[in-house]
C-alpha cells in the first residue's frame, strides 16, 4: 500500500518540515488532528507502532499523512547490537519508509535486542573500535536497504564503560564520517547524559559535529534525587525543561536553525499543550534567525 | 558484552559492574538500575496495555507482580511490542496465585486474540444488498456457499468470559451481579471496520459458523437444533460484516 503523495492532495510543501516544529503522533490525537488540522510542521511516529497490515494505526497514519509531513523514528533495529540486524524487521521498516515517504528516517546509537529477545529499552554501547566497526556496518546495511541517508541519535546514558577508549562525540564523528549518515541531535539526551556524567552540556554542543545534524529532538526528563548520586532520567513524560530550552537556544546559535521535534511519549497532555511547546521552539528559531541576519 | 549486560538485567549478578565507571558499588548499582528499571517497567506497562481487563479483574498490584514473574521467563520476541504476551494466557492458567480467578487465563486469551485481530488486514464484506442479490439469483439457496472473512474466529470457554469482558468494556449495558461465571460461552471474534469485536453466540450458531468456515453449503451448515433460526443467524452474519463472498456450490 503506497500512500497518496501529499503533493497531489494540496498538502503542505516539504518546507513545513524545515520551517515549523513538529510533535510526536499519538493515537489519542488522531481525531483532533483530522478535525482541527492544527498548524504544525510535521508529525513523528515510532516505526514499530505502525507496522501492522490493518487496524487503526495504519488507517489513521494514511489519513493524517495526506495533510502533514512525517518523520519516522525507529526504536527497534538495535543498531548497537553485537549480533546481525533482524532481516525480517529491516524489510518491514523498509516497506513502511517506502509507503510513508518521510522527510527523515532516524534510529539510535544503542542496542535493544539480544539473542532474539527484545528488551524495549535503548541500552548503551561502549565507545571502542569493535563497537564502531559493528555500528558502521549496521548503518551501511540500513542505508543501503532504505536507499537513503539515515539520521543517528545521540543516546541518553546513565553510566560510562571502562572499556570506552574515546569520547561519545569522537565516536559519533567517526561514525558519521565512515557511513555518511546524518545526526539527530537530542538536546534532552545531552542534558541528561552530561548531568549524569558531571560534564558540561554546552561543551558537548560546542564539540558536536553540527554540520551533520538534520533534526533536533526536545523532550522532558525527571530527576532521581537519591543521596548516593542524583541522576536525570530521560522519561519523555514532562514538558521540555528550562535547561533544555537554554541549551536549544545555544545549539541553534552554534550550528544554525534545524528542523525540530517536541518528543512526548508518556503522561500525554492535550494536543494544544504540545502545540504550544512547538510554538515556543518556533519563536526561539525565529529569534535566532533574525539575530543571525543582523550579524 | 551485550550478553553479560542482558544477564545482569535479569539476575541480581554484580559481575557486570566491573564494566561500569563509578566511585562505589552502590553508585554503580544505582546507575545500572536505571536500565533494569526501564526494562522491567516498560515491559510491565506493555502487558498492562495489552491486557487491560485482565489487570482490572485482579487489580494493578497483583497484575504487576504476575507480569514481573512472567517477564523474568518470557521476553518479547519482536520489536513490535504489541505482539508481546502471546504466552501470557497459558502462563496465567498455570500461575499458582491466580488460581482463585479460574477464568483469568481465558480473559487474557480473549484480549490477546482481539488485539491481534485489530491489527490484522481488513477484508471488504458484502453489503446486505449484495447478499440479497446472491440469494435472489439462485434457484436453490440450500446449495449456496457462504464464505466468511478470514478474520472470523470462534472461541469456547468453560466460563462466561464474553459476558465478563462486555461488562467491563461497556459497564452500563450489563451487570456483573446477575452473571453465573460458570456458564460456558461460545464467542464470535471478528472485525468491524478497523477494530476487532466480540459477540456471545449460542452453541448452534457457533456450529453453523464453523461449518461455513469449513466450506460447507448452507444446507450442510445448518445445525440439527430446533432452536436454530437460519434467517436470524444469516442476518447477524451480514450485520457483523462477516460475509465476503456468496457462490453456488459446483454440481
What local confidence, expressed as pLDDT, does residue B175 receive? 64
Cβ–Cβ below 8 Å for A160 and B20: yes
Establish if B120 touches chain A: CB-CB under 8 angstroms. yes
**Which set of grid coordinates corresponds to residue A269?**
497532555
Tell me the C-alpha distance between B47 and B44, whole Å: 5
B 17-36: CB under 8 A from A: 18-24, 26-28, 30-32, 34-35
pLDDT per residue over B187-235, tens digit each? Answer: 999 999 999 999 999 999 999 999 999 999 999 999 999 999 999 999 9
The three-state DSSP-derived secondary structure of chain B is CHHHHHHHHHCCCHHHHHHECCCCHHHHHHHHHHHHHHHHHHHHHHHHHHCHHHHHHHCHHHHHHHHHHHHHHCCCCCCCHHHCCCCHHHHHHHCHHHCCCCCHHHHHHHHHHHHHHHCCCCCCCCCHHHHHHHHHCCCCHHHEEEEECCCCEEEEECCCHHHHHHHHHCCCCCCHHHCCCCCCEEEEEEEECCEEEEEEECHHHHHHHHHHHCCCEHHHHCCCCCCCCHHHHHHHHHHCCCEEEEEECCC
pLDDT (0 to 100) of residue A62: 97
**Predicted confidence (pLDDT) at residue B74 exceeds the cutoff of 50:** yes
- Nearest residue of B to residue A77, measured between CA atoms: B79
C-alpha cell at A208: 558536536
What's the average model confidence in pLDDT over A196-209?
98
Contact A51 B80 (CB under 8 A): yes
Of B46, B78, B121, the CB nearest to A54: B121
Q: What pLDDT, on the 0 to 100 scale, is given for residue A6?
A: 46
| Mean pLDDT estimate for chain B | 94
List CB contacts (< 8 A) between A91 and chain B: none
Nearest to A53 among B6, B32, B121 (CB): B121
Residue pair A17/A42 in contact (Cβ under 8 Å)? The answer is yes
CB A149 within 8 A of CB A182: yes
Instruction: Look at A229 and B27 and tell me if their CB atoms are within 8 Å.
Output: yes
From chain A, the residues in CB contact with B34 under 8 A are 158, 224, 231, 233
Spatial separation of the C-alpha atoms in residues A22 and A40, rounded to whole Å: 5
Q: Nearest-CA neighbor of B209 among B185, B187, B184, B193?
A: B187
Does residue B156 sit at the A interface (CB-CB below 8 Å)?
no
**The pLDDT of residue B179:** 83
Checking if the pLDDT of B89 tops 80, the result is yes
Class of domain A6-294: alpha beta
pLDDT in tens, A245-292: 999 999 999 999 999 999 999 999 999 999 999 999 999 999 999 998
B119 and A123 in contact by Cβ < 8 A? no
How do residues B95-136 score in pLDDT, each as one tens digit? 999 999 999 999 999 999 999 999 999 999 999 999 999 999
A142-176 residue pLDDT tens: 999 999 999 999 999 999 999 999 999 999 999 99
Q: What is the mean pLDDT of chain A?
A: 95
Q: What is the ipTM of this complex?
A: 0.94
- Supply φ then ψ for residue B213, to 5 degrees: -65, -20
Mean pLDDT, residues B25-53: 97
Nearest to A111 among B2, B27, B30 (CB): B2
Provide, rounded to the nearest whole percent, the portion of chain B with pLDDT above 90.
90
For chain A, what percent of residues have pLDDT higher than 90?
Answer: 93
Work out the widest C-alpha separation in chain A, in whole angstroms. 58
Chain B residue numbers touching A165 (CB-CB < 8 A):
none
User: Which residue of chain B comes nearest to A113, CA vs CA?
Assistant: B79
Q: Which of A10-24, A34-48, A117-131, B3-17 has the lowest mean pLDDT?
A: A10-24
A2 has a pLDDT exceeding 80 = no
Residues of A in contact with B30 (CB under 8 A): 226, 228-229, 231
Mean pLDDT, rounded, for A118-140: 98
Which residues of chain A from 68 to 97 reach within 8 Å of chain B, CB to CB? Answer: 75-78, 81-83, 86, 89
Q: Give how far A245 is from chain B: nearest CA, Å.
A: 25
Cα B184 from chain centre: 17
For residue B22, list chain A residues with Cβ-Cβ distance below 8 A: 159, 229
Q: Does the beta-carbon distance from A54 to B24 stay under 8 Å?
A: no
* Closest alpha carbon to A213 in A147, A146, A154: A154
* Chain A nearest-CA residue for B120: A54
**Of A37-46, A72-81, A103-112, B11-20, where does mean pLDDT reach its minimum?**
B11-20
Please give the share of chain A, as a percent, with pLDDT higher than 70: 95
The DSSP code for A209 is -
* Domain spans of chain A, in order of start: 6-294
A72 near A123, Cβ under 8 Å? no
**Given this model, what pLDDT does residue B178 score?**
76
pLDDT of B13: 79
Using CA atoms, how far apart are residues A76 and A64, in angstroms rounded to an integer? 23
- The answer, for A121 touching chain B at a CB cutoff of 8 Å, is yes
Distance CA B88, CA A220 (A): 33
For the residues A13-38, what does the mean pLDDT come to?
93
Q: Can you give the pLDDT at residue A10? A: 46
Mean pLDDT on A203-217: 98
Asked if B75 lies within 8 A of A53 by C-beta distance, the reply is no
Confidence of residue A8 (pLDDT cuts 50, 70, 90): very low
Within 10 angstroms of residue B170's Cβ, the number of other Cβ atoms is 9
Asked if the C-beta of B48 comes within 8 angstroms of chain A's C-beta atoms, the answer is: no
- What integer is the mean pLDDT of B46-52? 98
- Whose cell is 563497537? That residue is A131
Percent of the residues in chain B that have a pLDDT greater than 70, as a whole number: 97
Q: How far is B227 from chain A (nearest CA, A)?
A: 36
pLDDT at B177 over 90: no
A155 Cβ under 8 Å from any chain B Cβ: no
* pLDDT average, residue stretch B18-40: 96
In angstroms, the separation between the Cα of residue A278 and the nearest Cα of chain B is 27
Closest among B226, B168, B229 to B198, alpha carbons compared: B168
| Chain segment A83-92, per-residue pLDDT in tens | 999 999 999 9
Q: Where are the domains of chain B?
A: 1-119, 121-251
Distance CA B166, CA B174 (A): 7
Measured between CB atoms, does B250 come within 8 Å of chain A? no
Kindly tell me if the per-residue pLDDT of B63 is higher than 80: yes
A-chain CB neighbours of B31 within 8 Å are 158-159, 196, 229, 231
Whether A162 and B21 lie within 8 Å, measured CB to CB: yes
User: What is the reported pLDDT for A1?
Assistant: 56
Nearest Cα neighbor of A214 from A104, A119, A291, A294 is: A104
Amino acid at each position: 500500500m503506497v500512500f497518496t503523495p501529499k503533493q497531489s492532495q494540496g498538502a503542505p510543501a516539504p518546507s513545513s518540515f524545515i520551517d515549523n516544529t513538529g510533535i510526536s503522533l499519538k493515537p489519542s490525537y488522531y481525531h483532533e488532528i483530522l478535525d482541527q488540522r492544527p498548524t504544525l510542521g510535521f508529525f513523528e511516529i515510532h516505526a514499530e507502532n505502525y507496522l501492522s497490515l490493518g487496524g487503526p494505526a495504519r488507517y489513521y497514519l494514511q489519513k493524517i499523512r495526506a495533510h502533514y509531513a512525517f518523520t519516522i523514528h525507529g526504536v527497534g533495529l538495535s543498531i548497537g547490537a553485537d549480533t546481525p540486524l533482524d532481516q525480517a524487521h529491516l524489510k518491514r521498516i523498509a516497506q513502511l519508509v517506502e509507503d510513508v515517504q518521510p522527510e527523515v528516517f532516524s534510529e539510535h546509537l544503542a542496542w535493544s535486542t539480544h539473542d532474539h529477545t527484545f528488551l524495549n529499552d535503548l541500552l548503551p554501547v561502549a565507545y571502542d573500535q569493535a563497537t564502531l566497526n559493528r555500528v558502521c556496518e549496521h548503518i551501511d546495511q540500513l542505508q543501503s536497504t532504505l536507499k537513503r541517508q539515515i539520521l543517528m541519535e545521540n543516546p541518553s546514558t546513565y553510566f560510562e564503560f571502562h572499556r570506552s577508549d574515546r569520547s561519545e562525540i569522537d565516536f559519533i564523528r567517526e561514525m558519521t564520517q565512515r557511513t555518511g549518515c546524518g545526526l539527530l541531535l537530542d538536546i534532552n539526551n545531552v542534558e541528561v547524559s552530561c548531568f549524569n556524567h558531571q560534564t558540561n552540556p554546552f561543551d558537548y554542543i560546542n564539540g558536536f559535529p553540527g554540520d551533520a545534524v538534520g533534526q533536533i529532538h526536545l523532550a522532558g526528563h525527571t530527576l532521581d534525587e537519591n543521596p548516593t548520586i542524583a541522576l536525570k532520567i530521560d522519561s519523555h513524560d514532562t514538558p521540555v525543561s528550562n535547561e533544555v530550552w537554554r541549551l536549544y537556544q545555544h545549539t541553534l546559535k552554534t550550528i544554525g536553525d534545524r528542523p525540530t521535534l517536541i518528543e512526548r511519549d508518556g503522561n500525554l497532555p492535550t494536543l494544544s499543550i504540545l502545540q504550544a511547546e512547538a510554538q515556543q521552539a518556533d519563536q526561539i528559531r525565529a529569534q535566532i534567525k533574525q539575530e543571525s541576519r543582523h550579524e | 558484552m551485550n550478553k553479560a549486560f542482558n544477564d545482569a538485567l535479569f539476575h541480581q549478578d554484580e559481575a557486570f559492574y566491573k564494566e561500569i565507571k563509578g566511585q562505589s558499588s552502590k553508585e554503580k548499582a544505582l546507575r545500572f538500575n536505571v536500565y533494569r528499571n526501564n526494562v522491567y517497567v516498560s515491559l510491565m506497562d506493555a502487558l498492562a496495555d495489552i491486557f487491560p481487563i485482565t489487570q482490572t479483574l485482579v487489580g494493578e498490584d497483583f497484575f504487576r507482580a504476575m507480569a514481573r514473574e512472567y517477564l523474568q521467563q518470557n521476553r518479547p520476541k519482536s520489536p513490535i511490542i504489541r505482539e508481546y504476551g502471546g504466552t501470557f494466557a497459558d502462563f496465567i492458567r498455570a500461575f499458582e496465585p491466580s488460581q482463585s480467578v479460574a477464568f483469568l487465563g481465558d480473559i487474557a486469551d480473549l484480549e490477546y486474540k482481539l488485539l491481534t485481530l485489530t491489527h490484522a488486514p481488513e477484508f471488504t464484506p458484502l453489503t446486505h444488498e449484495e447478499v440479497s442479490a446472491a440469494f435472489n439469483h439462485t434457484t436453490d439457496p440450500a446449495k449456496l456457499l457462504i464464505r466468511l472473512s478470514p478474520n472470523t474466529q470462534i472461541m469456547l470457554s468453560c466460563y462466561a468470559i464474553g459476558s465478563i469482558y462486555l461488562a467491563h468494556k461497556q459497564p452500563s449495558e450489563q451487570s456483573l451481579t446477575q452473571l453465573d461465571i460458570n456458564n460456558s460461552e461460545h464467542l464470535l471474534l471478528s472485525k468491524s471496520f478497523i477494530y476487532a469485536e466480540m459477540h456471545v453466540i449460542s452453541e448452534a450458531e457457533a456450529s453453523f459458523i464453523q461449518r461455513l468456515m469449513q466450506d460447507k453449503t448452507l444446507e450442510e451448515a445448518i445445525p440439527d437444533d430446533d432452536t436454530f433460526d437460519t434467517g436470524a443467524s444469516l442476518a447477524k452474519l451480514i450485520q457483523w460484516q462477516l460475509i465476503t463472498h456468496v457462490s453456488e456450490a459446483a454440481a
